[in-house]
């Protein structure tokens, strides 16, 4: 059904294009992906952030501009957690792993009395919150590896359609930022290939990226483990997720992952934390027109306010320390204030 | 200049599309990427191989077909060496590495008297041909790692524009198979994303893939090493190629690489040797319409004839043993006979 409706949408878009042609609209207007006069970023307040995006697209798609980028080379990369959707107070993928522990223990009862599984099974939130990184790693390995790729996809797909954020009581997939969806659409309409470059699991994000962000699985770069090819007893080949890390797609791992998976330097990159610093630096180090943007979580009322740049205590996720703010100013990165730049945060707000 | 001409081509294509629309051509005809009655595979003789390709495309792109594949899911993967271009008697990338040895030794004179570098520098072809796999690995590490990604790209780009095949005295990039170029174009015109999935180096093939095959770097999956992010003395970030293997994209590594880099099972796969067996098996194990094809090198006059399936001695490259032929028959893979199925082998033949 999903595909049928996509086809229908594509057909409608084609009809609209033909209509515009019949009305004598110019081809450049089509290339911009919006009728003249229609705001491609309606959830953005007027200001430096919105203008930076509009200027970047104009500069790189206008053939008479010295900063024109040929369509085949247009690449934009987006961090996910805290940049495209809510990641506070805990990454949704960590919630997934914690939620999977009972099923893992059911298959391996010997883990029942072994830490950190014992603590997770206890349901004691305070104790769970105090688990060390090493404990968390054990949970990630136990819940994300050792099964076939198909089984993992089925489990993660089922979870993501019902798991809800504790504060908003909404599906995680509803807690995407409407202004960023508009940027994704706007860039794609202007010939950009949009990639997610996430510290989260590549296989996890691929489960919903197309439906939620319009980003197909092959355009998701994330933390990735090895898989192992093998055969089922009936001879059918399949892949098993192995506990061997190939790419830690965070910090310096982001440009390394971009090289591995894309092989081109992005023209534009969007992030929100120190995990995105190297990706933004790498993006800006190329020639021609470049755009680097950082989402600042400064909206305690509509989402969250965190990070020492706002005089708040540092947190484990989405840190935006003063040093990053300083680098942004020095390097010409644009900071997006959720509070001031975004008219609307979520698609469900009207 | 390359980009300007691409733009010009795109413009011409757009004008042609508008003209067709004005003439009342149907949108489905456009979607097929060729005017009705025009043979999309003119370098193929009529026969089972050509028909298998035409049937596959018809089946998967006709919305009334039960085997219709939505455009976003159309993926086709192609081995390179022996499938898209000549790889006999030696892979061009191995030639590149051997050719780079003098420059490497110039920077590290202590290697001059060390094997296997001493033998390579001697120029003694017989001795070079006898080097072991371990020796070859040392040469690959010395010539493909330890430099920046940008330096490697510059060196490989310069080499590929002048290195020639010993038998044909032609650039390697001229020795691509015209019938396979037509398949790539035909599949893309029908909404397929075409990927190269090669045992060769990912960074090496990316240097020329767009120009030679129309396959952009982000659609090249190959044997890949790690890179390391760092800063130059002036603060500019850059990536260094490390001697650490991330993906050995051959045999079982091909479906593993496809999962890592694409995250979808291909609908169609093309190969020529035992290195492609697992990719073809993995491709065919999916539901719906599938196409698996193997290029058989049986044309001693126009290219080469090798492989024991033709009663010839096995060789190191492009092996096509009887077992693979048996599996092809049993599994419904189509064998392409270069001798019988291809009217023309190379683009320069008229």
Predicted confidence band of residue A310 (pLDDT cuts 50, 70, 90): low
In this structure, are A207 and A275 located in the same domain?
yes
DSSP-derived pairing of the beta strands B291-296 and B220-231:
unpaired
Of A21, A72, A217, the CB nearest to B264: A217
Give the pLDDT score at B30.
38
**Cα-based angle B96, B101, B105 (whole degrees, multiple of 5):** 160
**Size of chain A, expressed as the number of residues it contains:** 350
Q: Are the beta carbons of B247 and A246 separated by less than 8 Å?
A: yes
B64 touches chain A (CB under 8 A): no
Question: What integer is the mean pLDDT of A302-323?
Answer: 66
Domains in chain A, number: 3
Residues B150 and B222 in one domain: no
Last residue of a domain, one of B160, B189, B214: B160
Beta strands in chain A (DSSP E): 75-78, 193-201, 220-231, 237-247, 268-271, 291-296, 334-337
**Alpha carbons A196 and B204: distance in angstroms, whole number:** 25
Which of B160, B180, B198 is where one domain is finished? Answer: B160
pLDDT value for B5 = 39
- Domain final position from B160, B179, B200: B160
ipTM score assigned to the predicted complex: 0.88
For residue B219, with 0-12 CB atoms within 10 Å meaning exposed, 13-18 middle and 19 or more buried, which class applies?
buried
Task: Note whether residue B237 is domain-resident.
Answer: yes
CB contact under 8 A, B263 and A72: no
Name the residue facing B255 among A229, A259, A281 (closest C-beta): A229
- Residues B97 and B83 reside in one and the same domain: no
Domain check: are A11 and A56 in the same one?
no
Q: Is residue A265's pLDDT more than 90?
A: yes
pLDDT band (50, 70, 90) for residue A37 = confident
Q: Does A347 map to a domain?
A: no
Chain A residues inside the 8 Å CB shell of B70: 3, 6-7
> Nearest residue of A to residue B238 by CA position?
A282
Quick check: is B142 in a domain?
yes
Task: Measure CB to CB from residue A285 to each of B21, B237, B278 and give the nearest one.
Answer: B237
> Which pLDDT score is estimated for B88?
84
| Domain annotation covers residue A113 | yes
Closest-CA residue of A relative to B260 is A224
Residue A58 and residue A72: Cα distance in Å, rounded? Answer: 16
In a domain, B13, yes or no: no
- Verify whether the Cβ–Cβ distance A229 to B193 is below 8 Å: no
Give yes or no: residues B44 and B112 share one domain: no
Q: Which of B3, B70, B259 has its CB closest to that of A7? A: B70
More confident residue, B33 or A132: A132
Predicted confidence pLDDT, tens digits, chain B (350 residues): 344 433 333 343 334 333 333 333 333 333 445 567 899 999 999 999 999 999 999 999 999 999 999 999 999 999 999 999 999 888 889 999 999 999 999 999 999 999 999 999 999 989 998 999 999 999 999 999 999 999 999 999 999 999 999 889 999 999 999 999 999 999 999 999 999 999 999 999 999 999 999 999 999 999 999 999 999 999 999 999 999 999 999 999 999 999 999 999 999 999 999 999 999 999 999 999 999 999 999 998 999 887 654 555 554 445 678 888 889 999 999 999 999 999 999 999 97
* B182 lies in the same domain as B281: yes
Q: List B residues 78-137 in contact with A (Cβ-Cβ < 8 A).
A: none
Could you tell me if A215 and A305 lie in one domain? yes
Quick one: B126 and B243 in the same domain?
Answer: no
Do A277 and A334 fall within a single domain?
Answer: yes
Q: Which residues of A touch B239 (CB under 8 A)?
A: 255-256, 259, 282
B183, B308: one domain: yes
Query: Residue B80's domain is classified under what CATH number?
Result: 3.40.50.1000
Predicted confidence at residue A89, as pLDDT, reads: 81
Question: Is position A166 within any domain?
Answer: no
Residue A15, domain extent: 1-31
A67 and A147 both lie in a single domain: no
Predicted local distance difference test score (pLDDT) of residue B35: 65
Interchain CB contact of B70 with A (< 8 Å): yes
pTM of the model: 0.89
**B positions 223-242 inside 8 Å of A (CB):** 224, 226-229, 236-239
Question: Per the domain annotation, does B269 fall within a domain?
Answer: yes
Q: Is residue A308 part of a domain?
A: yes
**In this prediction, what percent of chain A has a pLDDT beyond 70?**
86
Taking the CA atoms of residue A49, residue A52, residue A58 and residue A59 in that order, the dihedral angle to the nearest 10 degrees is: -170
Pseudo-torsion of CA A237, A241, A247, A250, nearest 10°? 140
Q: Are residues B126 and B274 in the same domain?
A: no
């Amino acid at each position: 059904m999903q595909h049928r409706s996509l086809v229908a949408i594509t057909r409608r878009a084609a009809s609209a294009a033909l209509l515009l042609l019949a009305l004598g609209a110019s081809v450049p207007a089509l290339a911009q992906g919006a009728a003249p006069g229609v705001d491609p970023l309606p959830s953005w307040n007027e200001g430096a952030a919105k203008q930076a995006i509009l200027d970047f697209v104009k500069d790189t798609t206008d053939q008479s501009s010295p900063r024109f980028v040929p369509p085949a080379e247009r690449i934009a990369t987006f961090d996910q957690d805290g940049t495209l959707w809510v990641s506070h107070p805990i990454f949704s993928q960590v919630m997934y792993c914690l939620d999977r522990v009972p099923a893992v223990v059911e298959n391996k009862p010997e883990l029942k009395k072994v830490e950190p599984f014992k603590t997770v099974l206890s349901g004691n939130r305070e104790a769970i919150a105090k688990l060390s990184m090493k404990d968390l790693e054990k949970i990630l390995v136990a819940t994300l590896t050792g099964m076939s790729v198909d089984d993992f996809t089925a489990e993660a797909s089922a979870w993501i359609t019902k798991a809800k954020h504790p504060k908003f009581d909404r599906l995680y997939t509803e807690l995407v930022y409407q202004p960023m969806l508009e940027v994704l659409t706007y860039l794609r309409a202007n010939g950009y290939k949009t990639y997610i470059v996430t510290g989260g699991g590549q296989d996890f994000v691929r489960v919903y990226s197309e439906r939620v962000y319009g980003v197909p699985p092959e355009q998701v770069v994330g933390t990735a483990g090895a898989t192992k090819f093998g055969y089922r007893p009936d001879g059918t080949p399949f892949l098993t997720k192995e506990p061997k890390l190939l790419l830690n797609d965070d910090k310096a791992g982001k440009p390394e992952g971009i090289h591995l998976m894309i092989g081109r330097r992005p023209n534009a990159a969007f992030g929100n934390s120190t995990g995105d610093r190297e990706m933004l630096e790498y993006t800006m180090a190329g020639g021609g027109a470049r755009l680097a943007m950082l989402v600042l979580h400064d909206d305690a009322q509509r989402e969250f306010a965190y990070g020492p740049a706002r005089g708040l205590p540092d947190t484990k996720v989405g840190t935006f320390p003063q040093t990053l703010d300083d680098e942004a100013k020095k390097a010409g990165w644009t900071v997006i204030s959720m509070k001031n730049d975004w008219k609307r945060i979520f698609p469900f707000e009207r």
